[in-house]
C-alpha cells in the first residue's frame, strides 16, 4: 500500500617546423643554383639578380607551404576539409555545457533544455517542451548514445563520479494510451500507484512491487508532479506530462553515494520542472 502526500508551491607547432624545413630546403637549393650561375657569370650584377630571384622563390614556396599545412591540419584533425574553422571556434567554448547556468551563491547550477536541441532519438518527431532542474556544481552532462542500454527514449544524462547520476526519459504518451489529449496531464495517465507500476520497470529494469518507499504529489505552476523514492535500487523518480510527452526524471546513486549525498540527490529530484 503506497501512502501519497500532496504538496504545492511555485517555482521561484608541427606545421611551423614543416614550413621552416621547406624554406631551408629551398634556400639551400637556391644557393647551390646561384653558386653555379655566379661561377658561370662571375659578375656582381648577375649575383644580385640570382639572390633576388632566390628570395622571391623562398617567399613563394613558404606561402604555399603554409597554405598546404593549414589545409592538411583542417583535413586530418576534423575528418574532412571546410570544417576546421568551425570546430576550432566551437573548441573555444569547451567546458561550457549548453543550457547550464553559472553557479549561484549556494554553488548550484540550473540546466534548461536548449530550445534548438533535437527531439532526441526514438521519441518521435514533434518538439519537446523544455524542462529544467538544478544540480550542485561539478555535475556534468554525459553523452547519450543511440545504442544506450537505458533505452532509445533517454533524452539526457548528467553525472558526478562522487555523488551520483541522473537521466531523463521523454516518451510519447500515446505509446501508453490512445485516449489522452494533445496537452497531456499526468493525472490523465493515472494515479501515482498506477504510473509507478507501469513506468517504474522501464526505469529500473524490474518490477517495482515492494520497492516504493514513498510517493508524493507536488504541484508547480498548475502542473502536477508525481515524486517517488524506491529502494532497491536507490532512486528518486519524478513523473509528469506535458504536450504529448511523458517525462521521467530519475536520480540515482550507489549505496555509499546515497548515504553521503541523500539530501542533495533529493533536492535535485524535486527541482525538476517542465517549463
Task: Indicate the pLDDT class of residue 27, thresholds 50, 70 and 90.
Answer: very low
Mean model confidence pLDDT for the chain: 74
* Whether residue 14 has pLDDT greater than 60: no
**Nearest CA among 45, 46, 24, 26 for reference residue 37:** 46
If one compares 258 and 93, the residue with the highest pLDDT of the two is: 258
Could you tell me the pTM of the whole model? 0.66
For the residues 68-80, what does the mean pLDDT come to? 38
Lowest-confidence range among 70-74, 85-89, 174-178, 257-261? 85-89
Task: Indicate the pLDDT class of residue 85, thresholds 50, 70 and 90.
Answer: very low
* Whether residue 101 has pLDDT greater than 80: yes
Q: CB atoms < 10 A from the CB of 246, how many? A: 27
- Which residues on adjacent β-strands are paired with residue 248? 169, 239
Domain architecture of the chain: domains with CATH: 108-274 (3.40.1000.10)
What pLDDT is attached to residue 56?
61
Q: CA-to-CA distance for 203 and 235, rounded, in angstroms?
A: 9
What pLDDT is attached to residue 51?
53
Q: How far is CA 108 from the centre of its chain?
A: 18
Amino acid at each position: 500500500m503506497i501512502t501519497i502526500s500532496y504538496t504545492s508551491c511555485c517555482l521561484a607547432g608541427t606545421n611551423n617546423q614543416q614550413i621552416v624545413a621547406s624554406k631551408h630546403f629551398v634556400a639551400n637549393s637556391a644557393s647551390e643554383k646561384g653558386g653555379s650561375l655566379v661561377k658561370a657569370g662571375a659578375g656582381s650584377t648577375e649575383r644580385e639578380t640570382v639572390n633576388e630571384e632566390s628570395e622571391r622563390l623562398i617567399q613563394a614556396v613558404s606561402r604555399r607551404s603554409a597554405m598546404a599545412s593549414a589545409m592538411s591540419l583542417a583535413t586530418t584533425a576534423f575528418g574532412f576539409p571546410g570544417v576546421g574553422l568551425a570546430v576550432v571556434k566551437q573548441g573555444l567554448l569547451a567546458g561550457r555545457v549548453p543550457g547550464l547556468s553559472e553557479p549561484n551563491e549556494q554553488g548550484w547550477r540550473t540546466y534548461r533544455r536548449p530550445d534548438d536541441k533535437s527531439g532526441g532519438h526514438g521519441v518521435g518527431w514533434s518538439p519537446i517542451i523544455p524542462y529544467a532542474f538544478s544540480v550542485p556544481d561539478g555535475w556534468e552532462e554525459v553523452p547519450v548514445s543511440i545504442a544506450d542500454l537505458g533505452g532509445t527514449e533517454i533524452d539526457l544524462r548528467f553525472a558526478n563520479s562522487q555523488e551520483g547520476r541522473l537521466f531523463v526519459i521523454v516518451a510519447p504518451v500515446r505509446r501508453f494510451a490512445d485516449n489522452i489529449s494533445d496537452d497531456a496531464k499526468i493525472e490523465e495517465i493515472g494515479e501515482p500507484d498506477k504510473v509507478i507500476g507501469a513506468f517504474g520497470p522501464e526505469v529500473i529494469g524490474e518490477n517495482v512491487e515492494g520497492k516504493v518507499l514513498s510517493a508524493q504529489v507536488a504541484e508547480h505552476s498548475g502542473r502536477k508532479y508525481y515524486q517517488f523514492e524506491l529502494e532497491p535500487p536507490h532512486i528518486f523518480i519524478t513523473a509528469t506530462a506535458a504536450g504529448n510527452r511523458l517525462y521521467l526524471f530519475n536520480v540515482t546513486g550507489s549505496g555509499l553515494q546515497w548515504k553521503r549525498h541523500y539530501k542533495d540527490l533529493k533536492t535535485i529530484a524535486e527541482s525538476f520542472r517542465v517549463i
